[in-house]
């Protein structure tokens, strides 16, 4: 955590994370760049401004926890961990390589800073509930953050977890929904419609905040508001663009789980380097 990071610094870091994502998925010739790019502002905000965490002491019992429920976007998490100092940035190019700890989905115990093994969609919020409840039972002050994909909300286990969190008053739990409206087979509303999504969460007893998921100031303000709650869990629904930051990837479902080819990488790198200070 670095409270000295300004909004501009966080925005810049988000684009650095995006640059890592396109390079590492290209090097692996596989991975999930689209959803990684849409979550860059949130992940940057958490790791470089909001969360209490220490790369030199990743097992600190009072650290804040981040659960990446949409585990397929591991590249953006790995990029943030590397930039934070958990492991060398150069190691990012080992993504999905044999012998590398940076597997296609995060695995607890293989990479310092990874809190939970995820990838089977719909399970992360349940894990986050357990971590948050343990914190309350142990009298710890840490917060638990959980990032959900909108497509994975079609899995019923999420709503069991939502009931659990409200029942136990997990005000130390903040969930985020990356509402980019695209999943691997197309638009979420064509697969199994989620709208009206805010009303669903409110019906389960959660505080609901809606933000532009690419506006760092809105994200930070929403987290501050969520932290005030002493009774209920909070969900921050982030309206985002899948593939954000790379023109030909934006709103392109084809890049949900496909890496750039050589020509596309060159274009993506040029676009991102243009906006990185």
How do residues 36-55 score in pLDDT, each as one tens digit?
999 999 999 999 999 999 99
The three-point CA angle 95-1-59 to 5° equals 70
How would residue 2 be classed by pLDDT, with cut points 50, 70 and 90? low
Q: What is the pLDDT of residue 1?
A: 53
Supply the mean pLDDT for the chain. Answer: 97
- Residue that has been written with the tokens 């790791």 in this structure: 47
Q: Is pLDDT of 129 > 90?
A: yes
Q: Is pLDDT of 162 > 80?
A: yes
Q: What is the pLDDT of residue 132?
A: 98
* Eight-class DSSP state of 255: G
Tell me the percentage of the chain whose pLDDT exceeds 90: 97
Tokens describing residue 10:
């966080």
CA distances in angstroms from 190 to 93, 137, 154, 177, 195, listed in the order given: 36, 41, 12, 18, 11
CATH fold group of domain 7-275:
Rossmann fold (3.40.50)
Q: Is pLDDT of 221 > 60?
A: yes
Q: Is pLDDT of 6 > 80?
A: yes
The three-point CA angle 79-81-84 to 5° equals 110
Q: What is the mean pLDDT of residues 169-185?
A: 97
Q: What is the mean pLDDT of residues 9-25?
A: 98
Q: What is the DSSP string of 57-84?
A: -TT-TTS-EEEESSGGGHHHHHHHHHHH
In whole angstroms, what is the distance from residue 186 CA to residue 225 CA? 33
Q: What is the pLDDT of residue 4?
A: 80
Task: Indicate yes or no: pTM above 0.85.
Answer: yes
Do residues 38 and 246 touch, judged by C-beta distance below 8 A?
A: no
User: Where are the domains positioned within the chain?
Assistant: 7-275
Q: What is the mean pLDDT of residues 149-166?
A: 98
What's the pLDDT tens digit per position in 53-93? Answer: 999 999 999 999 999 999 999 999 999 999 999 999 999 99
Please say whether the dihedral angle defined by the alpha carbons of residues 130, 134, 137 and 142, taken in this order, is positive or negative: negative
What's the pLDDT tens digit per position in 247-273? Answer: 999 999 999 999 999 999 999 999 999
* H helix or E strand, kind and range, residue 122: none
How would residue 136 be classed by pLDDT, with cut points 50, 70 and 90? very high
Cβ neighbors of 60 (< 8 A, separation 6 or more) are: 53, 54
Q: What is the pLDDT of residue 3?
A: 64
Q: What is the pLDDT of residue 175?
A: 98
Tokens describing residue 266:
């060159």
Do residues 39 and 178 touch, judged by C-beta distance below 8 A?
A: yes
Q: What is the pLDDT of residue 201?
A: 98
In whole angstroms, what is the distance from residue 182 CA to residue 12 CA? 25
Distance of CA 183 to the CA centre of its chain: 15
Q: What is the pLDDT of residue 230?
A: 87
What's the pLDDT tens digit per position in 95-121? Answer: 999 999 999 999 999 999 999 999 999
């Amino acid at each position: 955590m670095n409270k000295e990071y300004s909004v501009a610094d966080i925005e810049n870091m988000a684009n650095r994370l995006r640059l890592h994502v396109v390079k590492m998925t290209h090097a692996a010739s596989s991975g999930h760049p689209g959803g990684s790019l849409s979550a860059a502002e949130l992940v940057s905000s958490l790791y470089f401004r909001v969360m209490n965490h220490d790369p030199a002491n990743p097992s600190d019992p009072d650290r804040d926890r981040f659960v990446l429920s949409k585990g397929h976007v591991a590249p953006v998490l790995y990029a943030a961990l590397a930039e934070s100092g958990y492991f060398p940035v150069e190691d990012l190019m080992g993504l999905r390589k044999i012998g590398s700890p940076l597997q296609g989905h995060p695995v607890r115990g293989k990479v310092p800073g990874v809190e939970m093994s995820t990838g089977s969609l719909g399970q992360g919020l349940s894990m986050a509930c357990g971590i948050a409840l343990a914190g309350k039972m142990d009298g710890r002050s840490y917060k638990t953050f959980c990032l959900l994909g909108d497509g994975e909300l079609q899995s019923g286990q999420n709503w069991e977890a939502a009931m659990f969190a409200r029942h136990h008053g997990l005000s130390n739990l903040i969930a985020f929904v990356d509402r980019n409206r695209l999943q691997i087979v197309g638009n979420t509303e064509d697969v199994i419609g989620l709208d009206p999504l805010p009303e669903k969460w409110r019906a389960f007893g959660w505080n609901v905040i809606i933000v532009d998921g690419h506006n760092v100031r809105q994200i930070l303000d929403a987290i501050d508001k969520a932290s005030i709650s002493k009774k209920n869990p909070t969900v921050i629904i982030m309206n985002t663009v899948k593939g954000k930051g790379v023109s030909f990837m934006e709103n392109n479902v084809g890049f949900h789980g496909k890496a750039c080819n050589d020509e596309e990488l060159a274009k993506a790198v040029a676009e991102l380097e243009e906006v990185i200070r």
